[in-house]
Amino acid sequence: MSTPWRAGHFVIVCALLAPACGGPNPTNSDGSADGANPADVHVPGRDLNAIIGTTPVTPENPGPTTNCAATLGLRLATTVLDSTLDNASVSIAATVADDGRAPQFRARPVIVQIVEGGRVLALVTRNEGVVAGSSVDTRWNGTVDGVAVAPGDYTVRATYECGADGPAIVREAPLTVVRLGAVRVTVADGDGLRIPLLWPRMNNVRRNYWLPANTRAVVSRGRGAGAADLVGTDGTRLTIPRPFADLESPPLETSGLPLAHDYNQPIALQIGTHPDVTVLFARSATSATLPAIRARIDNATPAADTTLAAITPLMFRLDMPPAPHFARYDFDLRVHYEALAEGGSYVEIGGESIPLRVYGLLGDQTISTSVTAPYGAWVPVVDAVTGWVHGTTDDPDEISGEIVRHVLDDFGLRYDTVNGASFYTGYGTSTYGFARFDLSAFLHRDNGRTVNCSDCASIVSTYANMVGCDVGYNILTANFPLNYIRAIGTTTFTNDPFNRGTRGGFRYHAITGPVGRPLTFDATLVEDGDDTPSAAPFTDLVPDGLMRSRYLTQLSPAFLTVTRDDKTAIN
């Protein structure tokens, strides 16, 4: 007798009556057990139908009665597979049981194959010594000779060879091979803020700004439209591009415009933000036997049901902020694909990772209220500052101080000891108001490496304000004498920075400080930090967050006045 085909559970069991078997296993002429011909192994290019000698059967036609005195059950963990996903495979169990009439019988081979259109495509396993009460547990990863099979309908066939006791018992179950994957990703504010990034030199043209809208997809696999974007023309899976590395220009089309497809664009978030990530999932053509498939993302909460159709946009709120601190983060958004299995549970059938680069910033740029170029967070600046700080602090004063130290020590700049002239900063008034910083030129040192206080104040304030600090541009006046200082790019202390042979001074001096608080950030010079700044010996005192009163005392014996407290415009 046989139990009916249970399509909902993907199990076929057939019980066949036969006399009990006993005694030693018959052997072939070469000494191997019956049905265990050493030649019956899969070799690429061989006809497995001819090797095994089985004929296709169906649930409605389970084959002739045999004398094996056994039943054979076949169960798949799920009936869908995408062999191109990470860790993709389907679990297969072929179970041999005594039919109740024979307490003992011979150990027989169990063979598990993959069949397409009635023809054997692959041998999954052949186990030569299977007895009643045992199971052959195996997995198939959806490949033949290392090559992923194409999407379509396949059959898993389990065969229990009865040898001289009669025809083999054959059981089959359907398996659908599909293609699944993410083809487009967008990122929104969530419970915080996504900060627009600006690439300042598109196609290596100065001031050719690119400030993409936050609504633009940050990841596009292929054209980001559907299942056709999951595989290439050769059938292999298309990888998701890595975040593009050029800090000044996005990758371009031949037209000179930014790539519209097959790209991965870095993003910036305010630290601690749990963004909303919308992923457009694609799935290849459906099948009558295809179970429900859903997507799951690690550490993310879906906004709705995650069951996948041919094209499905799904939004997830990330449970953990991808940028918890002020730093540059490279991480993978891990996606798991799960299929409905027997009993209503879901079984993972594979996964993939979506690489993202995220800059964690204090907030939006504070230079201007404008939301158009050039006012955005310039990627070369953001990348530099987050790399320096690297999650060691989220304090804006400490971040500004770090900027001062890097400008002093790492930029290769030198103070203009001839005229104290500016090379990258201009003013809109004769009283040093409305400073404008040529950041585009400075990034490439187009005007050289010589600077003055106006340039250093522009660099510090611009870099700090672009990452969310709130730093003002201050002017000290007027024509005041100097204590001993060590100017940027020099190695000795002097009170005669212009080499005039007598105590020198500044006509004006540009510095920076947090808006509304009496701290000073100055990358132009290092002060003498001892009690007698007007004479030797000298102790380095870097103005990387000094109280304003101390800074002024160490700088000059004169009474100094702050005449400006502006923001530096940029171009």
Q: Taken in order 461, 466, 469, 470, is the CA torsion positive or negative?
A: positive
3-state class (DSSP) for residue 137: strand
Phi-psi region of 146 (alpha: psi -120 to 50; beta: other; left: phi over 0): left
Instruction: State CA 232 to chain mean position distance.
Output: 21
Assigned token pair, 152: 């379509």
Sole residue written with tokens 């059959």: 155
- Long-range pairs of 297-304 with CB within 8 A, sequence gap ≥ 24: 297/333, 297/334, 297/335, 297/336, 298/333, 298/334, 298/336, 303/276
* pTM confidence score: 0.85
Residue 342 has a pLDDT of: 84
Residue 441 has a pLDDT of: 97
Taking the chain (571 residues) in runs of 10, the rounded mean pLDDT of each run is 35 32 36 34 34 36 52 93 94 86 68 95 92 91 92 94 82 95 98 98 95 97 93 90 96 95 97 98 83 96 94 97 98 96 92 98 96 96 98 98 98 96 94 94 97 98 98 94 98 96 96 94 98 97 97 97 90 90
**Vertex 514, ends 511 and 516: CA angle to 5°?**
115
Q: Assess contact for 66 and 162: CB atoms under 8 A.
A: yes
Residue 333 has a pLDDT of: 97
Nearest in space to 391 (alpha carbons), one of 360, 422, 416, 357: 360
Residue 101 has a pLDDT of: 57
Q: How far apart are CA 85 and CA 281, in angstroms?
A: 14
**Vertex 270, ends 265 and 274: CA angle to 5°?**
85
Which H or E run contains 465? helix 453-466
Q: How far apart are CA 337 and CA 351, in angstroms?
A: 6
- The Cα-based distances of 80 to 133, 287, 387, 484 in angstroms read 28, 10, 44, 77
Nearest in space to 336 (alpha carbons), one of 396, 381, 382, 296: 296
Where do the CATH 2.60.40.1930 domains begin and end in the chain? Answer: 11-177
Residue type, 202: M
Strands 180-188 and 327-340: unpaired
Q: Assess contact for 361 and 195: CB atoms under 8 A.
A: yes
What 8-state DSSP symbol labels residue 488?
Answer: T
Q: How far apart are CA 178 and CA 180, in angstroms?
A: 6
Residue 287 has a pLDDT of: 75
Q: Assess contact for 99 and 132: CB atoms under 8 A.
A: no
Residue 35 has a pLDDT of: 36
Residue 469 has a pLDDT of: 98
Assigned token pair, 31: 């000494």
Residue type, 220: S
Assigned token pair, 513: 């400080």
Listing DSSP states for 91-141 in one string gives: EEEEEEEE-SS-S----EEEEEEEEETTEEEEEEEEEEEE-TTEEEEEEE-
Taking each continuous run of H as one helix and of E as one strand, the counts in the chain are 6, 37
φ, ψ for residue 58, nearest 5 deg? -130, 165
Q: How far apart are CA 494 and CA 413, in angstroms?
A: 18
Q: How far apart are CA 488 and CA 523, in angstroms?
A: 7
Class of CATH domain 11-177:
mainly beta
- The Cα-based distances of 3 to 94, 112, 219 in angstroms read 16, 21, 50
3-state class (DSSP) for residue 105: coil
Sole residue written with tokens 């690429």: 44
Q: How far apart are CA 512 and CA 214, in angstroms?
A: 31
Torsion of CA 220, 223, 226, 229, to 10 degrees: -90
Q: How far apart are CA 359 and CA 247, in angstroms?
A: 13
Assigned token pair, 468: 């969310």
Torsion of CA 126, 129, 132, 138, to 10 degrees: -30
3-state class (DSSP) for residue 381: helix
Q: How far apart are CA 161 and CA 170, in angstroms?
A: 9
Peptide bond into 62 cis (omega under 30): no
The end-to-end CA distance of the chain, in Å, is 85
Phi-psi region of 229 (alpha: psi -120 to 50; beta: other; left: phi over 0): alpha
Count CB atoms within 10 A of the CB of residue 484.
25
H-assigned helices in 110-208 = none
